Amino acid sequence: MSAQITYLELSEASGSSHKFYEVTVDGAEVRIRFGRISESGQIQTKTYATPEKAKAEADKKIKEKLKKGYEYAVMGGRQKRPSTRRQVTSTPSTGLRAPILWRFDSGSPAFGIFIDGEHCWLGNQQGQVFKLDHQGQVLNQYQLPEGVKCIVADDVWIYVGCDDGNVYDLTGKLPRLAYEIDEHVDIFWLDIHDGILGVSDANGGLAKIDPEGEVQWTRLSSGKLGWMVRCDTQGFYQGHTRGVTLYEREQGRQLWHQATEGSVLFGWQEADTVYAGTSSKKIYSFSKASGEPQSIYTCDASVYSCATAARGQYVFAGDSSSSIYCFDQKGKRLWKLGTGCGSALSMQFWGERLYIVTTDGVLSCIDASTKAIEAAQAGQLPKVVSIQAQEAPAATVATTLETVSDSSAGVIVECFRQEGKLRVRVVSVGYNPEWMVQFPRDIRHEGSRYLVQEIREASQGGFYRAYGDIKKLV
């Protein structure tokens, strides 16, 4: 008997979902392939006791997908979303080298970085995400479907934006789909603040997306190539080919615009100041409140990345010639040193250490203390600890859930349909039943209840956010 194949697609009216689900029954084996339309997707295979049990399980899964809005389709009827991988050139640095303490080689150019007091995160163009300790040792490894554009921290949540147009939540044991972005949008950069997502795109467009994944407003800037977006309580700071524009958070009104010499290639923010690195070899700083220009920091090549010490006491930069810089707050250059591992595509300063991810796919920890820099300028460098990424099992995006019957160790939520959309609310006592829960969209099933490790109120109020592991109650 030949294998039976059922192919489904979901393309919602809002344009936020554009994916397929294929079920193949071959004797007692069920093979499920799923992912973004026109991509190979992920495959899960399971063997059952009899062909009849395999067929019954396949029918159950198909019915679940049809209930969620999937439809029977013909493979190849839709095209893949536009996706621009950032093309950068990098020349080797000359002169003195930076005092690198350790370097982790991921094997592929890397744009994604996030550093806190416990961990160092790296994401590369192969879709690999590594969670390291501060000695460069791998703690966890994740494999996402597409290349990583950026890693964003929002309170205790870690989000990863990828070339497939999805944003994944990495705060649990397995990656979960957090946001799906319109398949017609060629995403360049994104940022998240209190569950609100800002997406900047190839056309210079900007979109505000709420915690339910719904677009609240869109704006089209005067420029193109929106490689910068930063969010806070005031609004969205977008950088593009014509400069930096601030849009008010709630309604998207333009509050100010400042032109820059050259295109904006990267952005950073502090509490009162926003920074824009440009192709004109300069970093511009602007007052968040008024847009008034402040200091300008001049490098010797195009600025690919920038970061600051707390409150902007020092400003750091990485250029296209594999050099890194440090300036004082007023714009005076304090030092310039080579990386020895490519140009820094993203960076972050933490605890007198400057962390960079590079065109060579390396995460380097650089001692940026005054003593270490002075020694490096004298030609005295520490011995570098080099760490290679090892082939190891990686956590992949989960669409299935572990089932439990004991609800004592967690918070109970339920999925229900409201105005044609699947929503999630808290059932456990002590929570506002009118508030919705930010919850992975691809595991929502109408009428199902789930056990969530924690439910936390958003800092702005009005909704809850699921944190940690999620299990299905039976």
pLDDT at 17 over 60: no
The answer to whether residue 470 scores a pLDDT higher than 90 is yes
Residue 14 pLDDT class (50, 70, 90 cuts): very low
Is pLDDT of 352 > 70? yes
pLDDT in tens, 246-275: 999 999 999 999 999 999 999 999 999 999
pLDDT at 178 over 90: yes
Query: What is residue 43's predicted lDDT score, i.e. its pLDDT?
Result: 84
Token couple for 292: 């008034």
Q: What is the pLDDT of residue 38?
A: 66
Convert the pLDDT of each residue in 87-135 to its tens digit.
788 999 888 999 999 999 999 999 999 999 999 999 999 999 999 999 9
Residue type present at position 139: L
In a 13 Å sphere around the CA of 259, the CA atoms on its Cβ side amount to 2
Residues 209, 181: contact at Cβ < 8 Å? Answer: yes
- Given a cut of 80, is residue 328 above it in pLDDT? yes
**Token pair in block for residue 69:** 């809005």
Residues whose CB is less than 8 angstroms from the CB of residue 210 and which lie 6 or more positions away in sequence, other chains included: 195, 196, 197, 216
Q: Residue 64: what pLDDT? A: 86
Instruction: Give the confidence band of 78 by pLDDT, cuts at 50, 70, 90.
Output: low
Task: Give the integer Cα–Cα distance in Å for 316 and 309.
Answer: 8
Percentage of residues of the chain with pLDDT beyond 70: 96
**Higher local confidence (pLDDT), 403 or 73:** 403
- What pLDDT score was predicted for residue 68? 79
Statement: residue 11 has pLDDT above 90 = no
Mean pLDDT check: name the lowest of 61-70, 339-348, 412-421, 427-436: 61-70
Kindly calculate the radius of gyration of the chain based on its CA atoms and give it in whole angstroms: 23
Q: Would you state the pLDDT for residue 80?
A: 57
Average pLDDT value for residue range 136-148: 94
Region 129-156: what's the mean pLDDT?
95
Pairing of strands 385-388, 100-105: parallel
Euclidean distance between CA atoms 259 and 239, whole angstroms: 10
Burial zone of 202 (CB within 10 Å; 0-12 exposed, 13-18 middle, 19+ buried): middle
Taking only the tens place, the pLDDT of each residue in 388-410 is 998 888 999 877 889 999 999 99
pLDDT tens figures, 410-446: 999 999 999 888 999 999 999 999 999 999 988 899 9
Q: How far is CA 114 from CA 148, 315, 352, in A?
A: 13, 17, 15
Domains of the chain and any CATH numbers: 4-72 (2.20.140.10), 100-388 (2.130.10.10), 403-473 (no CATH)
Taking the C-alpha atoms of residue 371 and residue 184, their distance in angstroms, rounded to an integer, is 51
Query: What's the pLDDT tens digit per position in 213-250?
Result: 899 999 999 999 999 999 999 999 999 999 999 999 99
Q: Is the pLDDT of residue 347 over 80?
A: yes
Residue pLDDT, tens place only, 20-55: 899 999 889 999 998 877 677 778 888 999 999 999
Per-residue pLDDT at 2 exceeds 80:
no
pLDDT of residue 13: 45
Cα 238 to the center of its chain, rounded Å: 17
The pTM score is: 0.84
Neighbours of 294 (CB within 10 A): 16
CA distance 64 to 99: 56
- Residue 297 pLDDT grade (very low, low, confident, very high; cuts 50, 70, 90): very high
Q: What is the mean pLDDT of the chain?
A: 92
| CB-based contacts of 260, cutoff 8 Å, min separation 6 | 239, 242, 243, 244, 276, 278, 280, 282, 284
Cα 172 → chain centroid: 15
CA–CA separation, 179 vs 191, rounded Å?
12
